[in-house]
Each structure stands twice: as structure tokens, then as C-alpha cells.
Structure 1
Amino acid sequence: MLILIGIAILIVTIILLIKRQDTRTVLLFSGLSMCLLAADPMAAMNSFAQKMVSEGLIQAILSAIGFATVMKFTGCDRHLVRLLSVPLRRVGLLLIPGTILLTTFVQLALPSAAGAAAAAGITMIPLQLAAGIHPVMAGASVLAGTFGASLLNPGSPHMALVAKIVGGDVMTIIASRAMTVVWLGLLIMVGMTLTALLRREHRGYHSTLEHDIQADHQPLNLLAALMPLLPVTLLMLGAFGGIAWLKMGVPQAVMWGILATLFVTRTHPGKAIPAFFDGMGKAYSDVFGIIICAGVFVAGLNAIGLIAAAKTLLIDYPQAARFGGTIGPFLMAIVIGSGDAAAYAFNEAITPHAADFGMDGTSLGTAAAFASYLGRTASPLSAAAIVVAGMVGVSPLDLVKRTAPVMLIGLVLLIVLI
């Protein structure tokens, strides 16, 4: 009975989100309602408290959006757009696959999809807007780049879990799945580019920033124009440039970027630093508030038994494991907004029994992980979608309307590849 009520609440939640009701309110009360019906209200309260201090997400998201606020305050974003607006108009459409590729590389260094999206977005979103790409498409291309390249990171907990289950070597498993990332990446780049063409969102957009620039007759400051690129440059050099002392996280890269900006623009620290923290505060309200409420919603799904029911269904019907091992985690990730949670749930419950389904444990486990990440990239509840939506000022649902069809095609390719 509780399962049926949970499904009804889930459907109502989706309808309210489609009708553009306040996302935080809908998720918070949906999750709380399910916890109350399951006689476990503290599950919602505990999730609320825990999500408030999710250190990894807070550090990456708040610092990245705070940095974007400083770039706007100091005018560095205007200088960057002025510098690149003319050549970018010639590149135009190629910026979309280029953004996906850059975000993919950033995610190799930053396993957090939200952190990678924030780090890549502060650079690539203004560049795309300057090239005339619509904000929703600019954000969707950043989100699409978080499709799962982090699974090739040796520190990936999912590959480590699969290795533990099958008794294999992590690096061997990662090497065997490198081409999966390549094929998925190529498909997603082509798919998102075609999406932009079909929606006619690849050119013709004129941002308010661009109008302000046209009315601004101050000379171009080349160093100021380079400041928005500094954090992501430091992150890339630290991860792939072989420069050990440059290995750092998003907050550290952002702080170096702010210090350099203060020096280059000669902005008074007493004005720029408050702007940075104002941006962080707004990010916590607009972006992290949704993440907190999404956590409560997932707690409700757990409390009422929907997630456990999905796992049981796959165990009871092992003949569907080949498709269930991809479609199941994909759908679960869309519903709960977490690729990690979906991958963990499946691999801990199902993958140890792969031999009973006549499947290889490595293939099943890694396929579930990739499918979960594709599903997360198609979910309006994912932290990455929420972060990017906040950066471009649109609804997460608008972003996934563009990414979801491409991720679904990626899922079909994944089924073929396994």
C-alpha cells in the first residue's frame, strides 16, 4: 500500500515540477510527506541536516558561483566577451561540442559532477553567450559534459566497488572501459550539436551583457579578459599538465583567480570580497537550497520503500538483468537525481549475483555505473543540473529537455557496447 502511495506522490511531484512550482517547496514537502506516511519523519529531518554541510558540494559550488559574481563585479566578464565575441561568432556551433569536451576533461580531474559543471561553466557559459548561443543550450552543453568520464578516474569509488565484487584490478577495469567513454562522448557531442540546430539555439542570442559592452567605450584590458579563464586553467594544468604543485581543488583555484583579479583590475578588496561572499550566499539559497530539498525527497523515497522495491524487482526477474542493469539504474538516477546513489544501490544488490544471470560481473557493474551517470545527466534533480541552471538563470527542467533525449540514445549505445 505504501509503495502505491509513494508512486502517487512521485507522479504529483513530477507534475508540480513541470508546472514550474517552486522546486525547493515541492521536493521538501514531497519527501517529508513520504517520511511521515512511513512513520519515519526523522529520516527527512536528518537528511535536511546532513545535506546542509555536504562539504565537497559546498566548496565547489559556492566558490565557483562566488567567483562568477566577482567577475561580473570587476567587469572581467565584459572584457572576456569583448575579446572573444568577434572570433567566436565564426566558431559558433563548434563551441557546443568544445564545451562538452572541456567539461569531460574537467570531470576527469573533479569527480563531482556539480563541481566539474561549476568549474567549466564559469568559463564556457560566457563564451557561448558571446558566440550567440542561447543560455539554455549553453547550460545544457555544460551539463552534458558530466555524463560519466569521472568513472575513468582511478579514485572512482564505483570502479573500486566493481573490482572488489569481481576480485579484479581497478586499473584493468578502467582501461577496459576507456573506449566506452570515447564512444559515449562522441555520441553526446554530435547529439547535443544536432539538438542546438533543430531548436535553432546555436546562434542569434544577444545577451544584456553584450548590449552593455557595445555601449562601453573603455579600452580592452587583455589581462582582465583572461581572469575568468584562470581557475579552470589551473585545474587543468594540475590534473593533466604534470605540474604537481598545481594540483588543487575548485576553492583553491578560485581564490588564486580572485587574488589575480584584484591585482590586475586594481579593485579595492573591501568591495570585491563582499561581492564574492554575496555570490556565495545567493548560491546557497538558489542552488544549494534545491540540493538540500532533493536530499529530503530521496530520503522519502527510501523511507516509503520505492528504492528498495526497484532493487527487489531486478532480483526477482534476473532474466531482465541485461536491460535492467542499464535501464533500471538510468531511471532510478533520473528519479532521485543521483548517479552515485543509483550505481551503489544496483552494484551492491545485483552485481554480486551476475553469474546467476549468465553475465560477467565487470560488464554488469560498469554498465550500471555508466547508466546511472547518464540518468543523472538527464535528471532535473541532479546537483549538476541545479548548479548549471542557476548559472544561466533557467529551470533545471529546461536543461534536461535538451540533454535527456541524447542521454537516452547514449543508453541504447551502452546496451549495445556491453
Structure 2
Amino acid sequence: MIWIGLAIVILTFYLIYKNYEARLVLALSGILMAGIGWLAAGSNVTIGTAVDAFVKQLVNGGLVPTIVTVMGFGAVMTYTHCSDHLVNALVRPLTHVPAIVIPGAAIITWLLNIVLPSAAGVAAAVGVLLIPSLIALRVNPVMAAAAVFLGTWGSAISPGLMFNPQVADIAFKAGEISSPDAMIVIFSEALPAACGAVVAAITLAILSHFIKEGVGTADFRPEDAQVDLKNFHINPIMAIIPIVPLFLLVIASKEVGWLPTKTFSVPVCMLIGTALGLIVAILHKQDPGEVSKQFCKGAGDGFNNVVILIAAASLFAAGMKSIGLTGSLIDAMKGSQSVAMASAVLGPFIMAIVCGSGNAAALAFNEAITPHAADFGMTIVQLGAVAQLSAGIGRTISPIAGGLIVLCGIAHVNPMEVVKRTALPCVLALIVVTAGMYFF
């Protein structure tokens, strides 16, 4: 039974790698394993039980409101162009200090990805401004794309990323934390992640120097350098609005405590930001009804692309439990804490490189293994955070990641050439993040 389950898991991730619909593949694999486990081994996890695991995630009160409101808020910021003003406000200073443009581009993208948690979305928003600016400074176009791509894992510490609410919910149900607050997870991983981002950015800057692809090294390509940074009028208020919800979440967290945590939850803060976006739309004579439609569309996309994926991963994890695979993996990890630690890092990291997204692997790991973190001498928050951070970093070495395809289209370069430059910085970032989470 264990070997059958392992074969199904391998086939599942192979199909995801071949770009079959991840939600469908995870759900069908989960039902298949649950059915086999029930019929052949008399498991308590039946097909009905596995489907119940799927449904519970669709109505998860700690998870669903967080994800849909974040995605809705992001759609409103795009529609009102507040995100454009924030991007321009951060990008413009780089053009005045050429020496820091490469690490600066990576760090700015990383920070913006916290506010705008879609990797492909932030790649498009930042890349269309930064890549032409870097090319105008005679940075090699491949290095320009690499600098922006390197920052597209900043969403790892965003309250809108699916994993942070998921890990918080698991930890809350296990009694490890007092509330299913994603900010508890984020605060535990923020410093290691920030250190990893800085190490990666500096490494890329050093690499650009040694391979002579930094500022002033490339031929000027005027056709690619048409960017209107100087003439874009930045509205400071519009630039600030996208970061208001994040600021409120930080000051309302238990670690800071300036505002009541229970009152200023993620959905509340996102709705406050959305209300500010509505005011901006009215002042700029945009249709308030369209703002509402954009919020609903973003929320719907969040439910469709994120919540249902989490639900499918829960069904998949229930199937693994039914066929006995989860128990075997836990028993193997109990024998060695180092095995559990390595699995959380390398599994999602490798799958993200191969698939262009580590979501499926990290979600499945968190559903099946992370709840048993105490058996390995770790906390749920610690183990779950490492799994999702590894997935985010791994995606930044994948030649088929959606954000990379967007950037390569802007820079007119080959994806494989870009990931050759992000590989070393990402590996070093993974080492720093892992050490920070496990040992400090």
C-alpha cells in the first residue's frame, strides 16, 4: 500500500510538472488514494471523509476571508493606479545612484511583492519600469531581468500568501498559538527572510561585477529604454495607500500592540485599504461601481486560484493518510529530526524549480506533515514557514515561472539565461533563511 501511495504521489507531481491542472490532479489523486485505502486496507479515511476535508477548507473562517479580501484589495489598487504610484516612488531614486541599481532593483521588487503578493503581477508592474531603466544605464538585459526576478519571492512574508494563513490555522487548531493570525507566522519568518533577500541581492550585485554585466557594461538599446519615469507625476497619498493595510496589521500585531489585534484583522485592514481606494477613485472621477466590481473579481480570483487549491491539497493529504503514506513518512522522520528538517526545505524547493510553482508541494507538505511538527522537535509555525519560504525561493530559479516569462518578454531575453544568474543568490538565500528559522 505504501508503494502504491508513493507511486500515486510521484505521478501527481509529474502531471503538475507537465502543466496539468493542479487542482484537478490533486483532488483526483486524493480521492484515488482514499478509495484504495478504504477498500484495501480498511482505513477510517473514506472517500466521504476526504471530500469533507476539501469542503472544510472552502468554508474555513480563518483562511477564506483573509485570501479573498487581500486579492480584492490588490485588484482595486491596480484599477485605481495606486500601485503604479507606489512602484514609481520606489523605482525613481535608483536611477540617481547607478552603483546600487542591481541590488536595489531586487530589494524593491521584494518589498513590493509583500504588498502585491502576486509574483507575476509584481513582475509586470515593476519590470515594465525597472528593466528599461536598467538597460538605459547599460546593464546587460539578462542581468536586468534577473535583478527584478530575484525579488519575486517577497510574498513569502505577505498576509495574502496562502501559506501564512494556512500555517496559522494549523497551529491554532493544535493549540500552539492563541489565534489563527497570519501575522504570528509572518513575524517569525520576517527577519530570516529579509536577511536572505539582502544576501541574495548583494550576491547578484557581486556576480554582475565579475561577469561584467553591471552598469555601463552593455551596449545601449534605445528601443528598450523608453521609460517615462521623469515625467510621471507621483501622488504621495496614492503611493501610500497600498501599504496602509500592511502598516495597520503590523501595529495591530501582538508583537507591537498599538491597536487591538482582534479588531484590526487582515480582512478589516484590507477593507480599510479598499475604502481608501474607493475614495481615490471618486476623487479622480472613476466609476465607484467599477471599483466594487474589481474588488469582487479579485476576491473571486482569490477563491478560485488559491482557496480551491488549498482545498484540493487537503483532499490530497487526506488520501495520503488513508493509504498509510503519511504515517510512514512521519515514522521515518521521527527517527531523525534532520530528515524532517531537510524534507521541509528540499521538497518544496525542488518542486518549485521543476514546476514553476511550489504551491502544490508546500500545501501538501503543510497539510500532511506540518501538524506533526512536535514529533520532530519543532513547532508547527517553524516547520510550515520553512516549507513555504523554500517554495518561494525555489520558484525564483525556475525557468518556467510565470513571473519570469513576463520579465523575459519585457527584456527580450532567454529564461534559462536569467535563472543561471539567480541560481547562486537563491541557494545562498535558502541557506540563510533555513539557518535563521531552525537555529536562531
Q: What TM-score range do you get, normalising by the shorter chain? A: 0.5 to 0.7
- Tell me the percent identity: 21
**CA–CA distance in structure 2, aligned partners of residues 390 and 250 of structure 1:** 27
- The equivalent of 1:324 in structure 2 is 339
Residue 264 of structure 2 aligns to a residue whose secondary structure is coil
Amino acid at match of 1:409: I
Residues 283-309 of structure 1 deviation map (CA, whole Å, 9 limit, x = unaligned): 211222222211111111111111100
Give the alignment partner of residue 388 of structure 2, picking from 376, 401, 407: 376
Alignment partner of 1:273 is 2:295 = no
Alignment partners' CA distance in 2, 1:22 and 1:44: 19
**8 Å Cα contact 2:157-2:190 kept in structure 1:** no
Contact 1:227 1:261 in 2 (8 A): yes
Query: Per-residue displacement from partner, 1:64-84 (whole Å, max 9, x unpaired)?
Result: 111111112222223333433
Structure 1 residue 88: deviation in Å? Answer: 4.2
Alignment match of 2:84 (pick from 78, 83, 97): 78
Measure the CA separation in 1 of the matches of 2:267 and 2:329. 38
SS in 1 for 2:378: helix
- The CA deviation string for residues 359-387 of structure 1, in whole angstroms up to 9 with x for no partner, is xxxxx335x8634431232348x9xxxxx
Corresponding residue to 2:72 among 63, 66, 71: 66
State the shift of 1:30 in Å: 1.4
Deviation of 1:11 after TM superposition, in Å, equals 0.9
1:142 aligns with 2:161: no
Q: Is this contact kept in 2: 1:333–1:339, CA < 8 A?
A: no
Q: State the AA in 2 paired with 1:272.
A: V
Match of 1:290 among 287, 293, 309: 309
Whose helix fraction is larger, Structure 1's or Structure 2's? 1
| Pairing of 1:145-184 with structure 2 (within 5 A) | 161=176
Secondary structure of the equivalent of 2:244?
helix
Whether the 8 Å CA contact 1:65–1:279 is kept in 2: the answer is yes
Secondary structure at 1:121 match in 2: coil
Equivalent residue letter for 1:137: L
Going from structure 1 to structure 2, the CA distance change for 1:407 and 1:290 (only over 3 Å counts) comes to farther
One-letter identity of the residue aligned with 1:297 = F
Cα deviation 1:323-356 (Å, max 9, x = unaligned): 2352355567774524475333141xx35xxxxx
- AA paired with 2:199? V
User: Letter of the aligned partner of 1:143 in structure 2?
Assistant: A
Residues 271-292 of structure 1, C-alpha deviations (whole Å, 9 max, x = no match) = 2112211111122112222222
Aligned-pair CA distance for 1:120:
6.1
Seen in structure 2, the aligned counterparts of structure 1 residues 406 and 58 have a Cα distance that, compared at 3 Å, is farther
Q: Which runs of 5+ in 2 are unaligned?
A: 39-45, 132-143, 178-183, 219-224, 350-360, 395-400, 407-415
Quote the residue 1:386 is aligned against. Answer: none
Query: Could you tell me which residue of structure 1 aligns to residue 8 of structure 2?
Result: 9
2:278 corresponding residue in structure 1: 262
Q: How do 1:19-418 and structure 2 match up within 5 A?
A: 19-39=18-38, 40-89=46-95, 90=97, 92=101, 93-94=103-104, 96-97=106-107, 121=117, 125=122, 128-129=126-127, 130-132=129-131, 136-143=149-156, 161=176, 186-187=195-196, 189-191=198-200, 194=203, 214=228, 220-239=234-253, 242-244=257-259, 248-266=264-282, 267-315=286-334, 317=335, 320-321=336-337, 323-328=338-343, 330=345, 335=361, 337=363, 338-339=365-366, 342-347=369-374, 350=375, 364-366=377-379, 370-379=382-391, 405=427, 409-410=431-432, 413=435, 417=439
Is contact 2:149-2:403 (8 Å) kept? no
Distance in 2 between residues matched to 1:197 and 1:25, nearest whole Å: 43
CA distance in structure 1 between the partners assigned to 2:151 and 2:47 by the alignment: 40
CA pair 234-145 structure 1, distance change in 2 beyond 3 A? closer
Quickly say closer, same or farther: Cα 1:53–1:293, change in 2 above 3 A.
Answer: same
* 1:314/1:341 CA distance change after superposition, 3 Å: closer
**In the aligned structure 2, how far is the partner of 1:60 from the partner of 1:256?**
13
Go from structure 1 to structure 2 and tell me whether the alpha carbon gap of 1:295 and 1:186 turns closer, same or farther (over 3 Å shift).
same
Q: CA deviation at 1:314?
A: 4.0
Q: 1:195 to 1:299 in 2, by over 3 A?
A: farther
Q: Give 1:98 shift.
A: 6.5
1:142, CA displacement in angstroms? 2.5
Does the 8 Å contact 2:114/2:154 carry over to 1? no
Asked whether the 8 Å contact 2:85–2:239 carries over to 1, the reply is: yes
Are residues 373 and 179 of structure 1, via their aligned partners in 2, closer, same or farther at CA, if it must alter by over 3 Å?
closer
TM-score, normalisation: structure 1: 0.65
Helix, strand or coil at the partner of 1:38 = helix
Report how far residue 9 of structure 1 moved: 0.8
Quickly say closer, same or farther: Cα 1:262–1:188, change in 2 above 3 A: closer
- The whole-number CA distance in structure 1 between the counterparts of 2:189 and 2:246 is 25
Other-structure match for 2:180: none
User: Kindly tell me: are residues 310 and 82 of structure 1, through their superposed partners in 2, closer, same or farther at Cα, counting changes over 3 Å?
Assistant: closer
Partner Cα distance (1:149, 1:290) in 2 = 15
Counterparts of 2:307 and 2:268, CA distance in 1:
20
Letter in 2 for 1:121: P
Are the aligned partners of 1:311 and 1:346 in contact in 2 as well (CA < 8 Å)? no
Cα distance in 2 for residues equivalent to 1:142 and 1:196: 22
1:142-181, Cα deviation, whole Å (9 max, x unpaired): 327899999xx9x96599759xxxxxxxxxxx9xxx9998
2:357 aligned residue = none
Q: Name the CA distance, whole Å, in 2 between partners of 1:184 and 1:219.
A: 33
Superposition TM-score, scaled by structure 2 size: 0.63
**Which AA in structure 1 matches 2:69?**
S
Whole-angstrom CA distance in 2 between matches of 1:416 and 1:220: 42
